[in-house]
Structure 1
Amino acid sequence: MESQRNLLIIGLLFVSFLIYQQWQKDYGPQPEVITATNTVNATPAGAHPDVPASATSSDDSDLTQATSAGQLITVTTDVLKLKISSQGGDVVSGELLAYPIEEESSEPFVLLEEDANFTYIAQSGLIGRDGPDASANGRPIYQVSSSNFELAEGEDQVVVAMTYQDQAGNQFTKSFTLKRGSYDVDVTYEVTNNSEQALNLQLYGQLKQTEKEHKSSMVMPVYRGGAYSSDSTRYSKYKIKDMQKANLNVTTTGGWVAMMQHYFVTAWLPDENSTNQLYSNANNGFVFMGYKAPAHTVAPGQSEQLSSSLWVGPKLQEQMAEAAKHLDLTVDYGWLWFIAQPLSKLLKFFHSFVGNWGIAIILITFTVKGIMYPLTKAQYTSMAKMRLLQPKMAALREKYGDDRQKMSQGMMELYKKEKVNPLGGCFPILLQMPIFIALYWSLMESVELRHAPFFGWITDLSVQDPYYILPVLMGVSMFFIQKMSPTTVADPMQAKIMQFMPVIFTVFFLWFPAGLVLYWLMSNVVTLIQQTLIYRNLEKKGLHKR
């Protein structure tokens, strides 16, 4: 029965962990807003939030934003379909062609969008004294050679070039470069100064989203909100309610800003060698996460390039790590990331051979349980030795009665004499808990499991079993583990609670993603096999009696 108590410990710790995570999301202490000196000024009163003010401009005029006034340019690759407004060059729609919105659907998942109910777009432009996006006349209307661009067969990239000329004759070309198989979009400005005075410009990029909190369940505590990285903070979330309370203001070399949700992320990635200001804002029902590059001067008769990149896509760790430093940390494994990352890589390694994520989960379960086998063996051996001491423990209780001090001394002497560690049965369980939690987050955060089938009725490992077969099988496996364990609990109430444990866990797991339930089920199956082998060995040594 000790093994059942250990299962109860695992369950209670795990549920407590989920409750704590959800409480932290809703009521936990908020991160301190970092403010820096000598940074670019915040948006002045009266300026439109879609166009951040520059350090050099004192213009407080109402800078308007009317995406609908511009022409929509569609650009399509093998993995992305973006719609870019010719007014300002904002990305107002982003479809992920390799990720359907629903299982077996022909419609792609829409990451960026702008309609009457919800806005989530990627904006960028040039501000500063001479920036076209800081003009009192509103944001520039770019000219484009076509309204439709498509990556042709045999080509590696497609370029969308948009041009604008101001009243002084200065030429601005904003180019979007999309590469085959990539979600990393290069955004480049080429500025030609045709005037007689130097141009003062500042590049910015920001993500605009409807000011709305997204709730998640205890079983699926997924995050939706902002995040950033700086030279002093590798990765930090910045929730929507944080943006509502205070503006982020961080000066950093490189860095990035992002808006995250389950499986997907959009991020602005400025030049990693420049000193950038990362900021947030909340205004008029919208929240913003953005960056401003340093002010740049273009001499008369000269041309300069200013560039950054935009990630629009799934949380693919390897590709994101290549796109920007620490961007892969948006695959949020929590504080056990150093365990979860290797487990995730091992899971992908198995999948590369078997081609089925369900089988890969089974293989990683066997691997983890195999590595933990010495601890499991030590656990059951310690439990067996403790059972052998029960008669002597009863004799001590009868001898010392209610004298707890002498009883404790007698127990410690008995443990020392018999070379038994009373914590030997629980310590291995505590060591296994971080591995289980890390694997839980690995499975939760793996976009590869989204819409990934196993076999039969399990057509999506990222959602609950539609017929609840896996949770029921998991409960049955717990029942057999319970039956295999010797009954040493004298308290009838505790014995009844233990008998209901399989039922309680089955009900709890009904809403878990099928991939996680599959892992727990296979873990129980391996436990049954290991338990059988260990008990047989202990019976030969006379340490185990049912």
Structure 2
Amino acid sequence: MESQRSFLLIGLALVTFLLWQQWQVDNAPQTVTPPTYSEAGENNLSQASSDVPVGSQAEAIESASTGTKFITVTTDVIKTKINLLGGDITQLDLLTYAKEKDGSDPYELLVEQGGQLFHAQSGLTGANGPDASSAGRPLYRASADTYTLSGDTLEVPLTFLSKDGVLVQKTFVFTRGEHKVEIRFDVMNQSDRVKNVQLFAQLKQQSAQASSSMMMPTYHGAAYSTNDEAYEKVDFGDIADKNINMHSIGGWVAMIEHYFVTAFVPSAEEQIDISTKALSGGKALIRYKGEPVQIAPGATETLSTTLYAGPKDQDKLAELADNLDLTVDYGILWFISQPLFHLLKFLHGLVGNWGVAIILITIIVKGLMYGLTKKQYTSMAKLRQLQPKLTELKNRYGEDKQKFSQAMMELYRKEKVNPMGGCLPILFQMPIFLALYWVFVESVELRHAEFALWIHDLSQQDPYYVLPILMGVSMFVMQKLQPTPIQDPVQQKIFQYMPVAFTFFFLWFPSGLVLYWLVSNIISIVQMLMINKSIEKKGLK
């Protein structure tokens, strides 16, 4: 099989895959964001922030007419807004990640309201949990309106006393340099009866905001991990169709977007129930509940969970929970992508530039594949040498395809030529290319990463289309170095316009991917020249 045909098949397969991804996005259920709403009973967990519960502290706090009170917490890497109604984190900004390249506004991961609404909610349900009260969510007290991290850790305590004598102190623990927040519930039973509470943690998000593109097919939706399923995605369409309910020991629940992940993580030994739910107004949530806990009169119990809201840092995620690093979704080729990513990261540590690291990893991969490449080109050269004999056989046997096929295989055996020799090597290289593709698409390290000259963001397309055009030129040169003997005029036209088609598609690819393909083509050209010289010395043209 000729290399041009192989590249065409690869290109067609890739474009078909990307078109299929985009079709899924375009045909996903669409929703419209309605006004803020509230639900009764346990659905109070997903109610809007404008609802103030009736309770023993209601007279001591602001009324609904003046708005519910919030507090803000600022560390060196995040800034959060906590709603005292329920103690939910309703806004979280990533201070070290800009929203736009060279912009001053931080990236908003959790958003308080509107079409991008995204909240991290946690609390206590159960028979005596304050969040299960028909009166609504508990309204906590705080000793200050703003908190700022000055040391290595910062604790932000909120308190609530229910009418039936359950005192809850909900404490948020922030750590310098970390995107994780420890959330601890110290529950004291001040009554004369046993109380039952149950911790829940959930992520509520407006589902209509999911976005992707054919050239950047990224996932936006929910995911979870259990002791049976290491990593499972549940997109917003699946949640709208059917709610999931399952039991696990340990695990986590998360909402994922392109470069960032928000996850609630219980302890690894905790028994939890994971579920999803579609809410009115196009909102969706994924939650977990812990086991019910009994608290004797006068006793105190502590329940806790961990919230991670930040970039898809594989090392940090793997350290926080088993399989959480799989949210950096490399697909079925993850076992190839992960080593390639670590190699890319190692190279970046040496040179300090992600673009240069991409060039180096391309050189390494192409160097390791040189033996297969040489075998491929040598096999195709031998096949071209046999073209006159194959034509003679075809003329001899005419329409008798069986005899022609037998004679052709006998010729291959006699000349010691493997007809698949030009195809198999490139099939080995295909997984490497796809694995690198997902590394470049999924790695937050490449977001806003500069290379050189006009390439200021390797995760975005080339603003002047220089790299795609150079890539097309390199493909044209490769065609000239490796001409195809195909006589069919239609196929000849297809191969002739391949560089043009690829250039067109690559106009919208992230520049990091185009840089990889361009460098790969340049190395292939050099290898072709070297291999062709070696082949000619053996008497093959």
Cα distance in 1 between the residues matched to 2:101 and 2:475: 31
Cα distance in 1 between the residues matched to 2:74 and 2:433: 41
Equivalence for 2:31: none
Cα distance in 1 between the residues matched to 2:75 and 2:418: 63
How big is each residue's C-alpha offset from its partner over 1:216-245, in whole Å with a ceiling of 9 and x where there is no partner?
222111111111111110011111111111
| Shift in Å, 1:425 | 0.6
What secondary structure is seen at the aligned counterpart in 1 of 2:342? helix
Cα distance in 2 between the residues matched to 1:67 and 1:174: 26
| Shift in Å, 1:146 | 1.2
Q: TM-score, normalised by structure 1?
A: 0.91
Amino acid of the residue matched to residue 92 of structure 1? T
How big is each residue's C-alpha offset from its partner over 1:24-58, in whole Å with a ceiling of 9 and x where there is no partner?
66779xxxxxxxxxxxxxxxx953524289xxxxx
How big is each residue's C-alpha offset from its partner over 1:442-484, in whole Å with a ceiling of 9 and x where there is no partner?
1000001111010111000001000000000101111111111
Assess if the C-alpha contact under 8 Å between 1:49 and 1:283 holds in 2: no
Assess if the C-alpha contact under 8 Å between 2:397 and 2:403 holds in 1: yes
The alpha-carbon distance between structure 1 residues 215 and 168, as it changes in their structure 2 partners (threshold 3 A), is closer
Q: How does 1:520-531 map to 2 (within 5 A)?
A: 520-531=517-528
Cα distance in 1 between the residues matched to 2:229 and 2:171: 31
Q: Does residue 154 of structure 2 align to residue 158 of structure 1? A: yes
The alpha-carbon distance between structure 1 residues 67 and 501, as it changes in their structure 2 partners (threshold 3 A), is farther
Unaligned runs of 5+ in 1: 29-44, 54-60
Q: How does 1:350-369 map to 2 (within 5 A)?
A: 350-369=347-366
Assess if the C-alpha contact under 8 Å between 1:258 and 1:265 holds in 2: yes
Q: Does residue 229 of structure 2 align to residue 233 of structure 1? A: yes
Aligned-residue CA RMSD (Å): 2.2
Cα distance in 2 between the residues matched to 1:323 and 1:182: 11
What secondary structure is seen at the aligned counterpart in 1 of 2:365? helix
Equivalence for 1:319: 316
What secondary structure is seen at the aligned counterpart in 2 of 1:379? helix
What secondary structure is seen at the aligned counterpart in 1 of 2:451? coil
Equivalence for 1:105: 103
Amino acid of the residue matched to residue 232 of structure 1? D
Cα distance in 1 between the residues matched to 2:6 and 2:317: 40
The alpha-carbon distance between structure 1 residues 213 and 242, as it changes in their structure 2 partners (threshold 3 A), is farther
Q: TM-score, normalised by structure 2?
A: 0.92
The alpha-carbon distance between structure 1 residues 252 and 25, as it changes in their structure 2 partners (threshold 3 A), is farther
| Shift in Å, 1:170 | 3.2
Assess if the C-alpha contact under 8 Å between 1:259 and 1:267 holds in 2: yes
What secondary structure is seen at the aligned counterpart in 1 of 2:43? coil
Equivalence for 1:80: 78
Q: How does 1:4-153 map to 2 (within 5 A)?
A: 4-23=4-23, 46-47=40-41, 49-51=43-45, 69-152=67-150
Cα distance in 2 between the residues matched to 1:48 and 1:67: 24
Per mean C-alpha deviation after superposition, the further-off stretch among 268-277 and 438-447 is: 268-277
Cα distance in 1 between the residues matched to 2:373 and 2:434: 18
Cα distance in 2 between the residues matched to 1:250 and 1:486: 58
Equivalence for 2:32: none
Q: Does residue 335 of structure 2 align to residue 346 of structure 1? A: no
Q: Does residue 436 of structure 2 align to residue 439 of structure 1? A: yes
Equivalence for 1:244: 240
| Shift in Å, 1:393 | 1.0
Cα distance in 2 between the residues matched to 1:89 and 1:340: 39
Cα distance in 2 between the residues matched to 1:192 and 1:490: 85
The alpha-carbon distance between structure 1 residues 62 and 169, as it changes in their structure 2 partners (threshold 3 A), is closer
Amino acid of the residue matched to residue 2 of structure 1? E
Aligned length in residues: 519
Per mean C-alpha deviation after superposition, the further-off stretch among 191-200 and 100-109 is: 191-200
Q: How does 1:158-307 map to 2 (within 5 A)?
A: 158-212=154-208, 214-285=210-281, 286-307=283-304
The alpha-carbon distance between structure 1 residues 174 and 280, as it changes in their structure 2 partners (threshold 3 A), is same
What secondary structure is seen at the aligned counterpart in 2 of 1:234? coil
Unaligned runs of 5+ in 2: 29-38, 48-52
% identical equivalent positions: 53
What secondary structure is seen at the aligned counterpart in 2 of 1:51? helix
Assess if the C-alpha contact under 8 Å between 1:228 and 1:237 holds in 2: yes
| Shift in Å, 1:284 | 1.8
What secondary structure is seen at the aligned counterpart in 2 of 1:212? helix
What secondary structure is seen at the aligned counterpart in 1 of 2:45? coil
What secondary structure is seen at the aligned counterpart in 1 of 2:208? coil
The alpha-carbon distance between structure 1 residues 68 and 211, as it changes in their structure 2 partners (threshold 3 A), is farther
Cα distance in 2 between the residues matched to 1:236 and 1:421: 42
| Shift in Å, 1:502 | 1.1
| Shift in Å, 1:212 | 1.7
Cα distance in 2 between the residues matched to 1:251 and 1:496: 58
| Shift in Å, 1:210 | 1.7
How big is each residue's C-alpha offset from its partner over 1:510-537, in whole Å with a ceiling of 9 and x where there is no partner?
0000000000000001100111110011
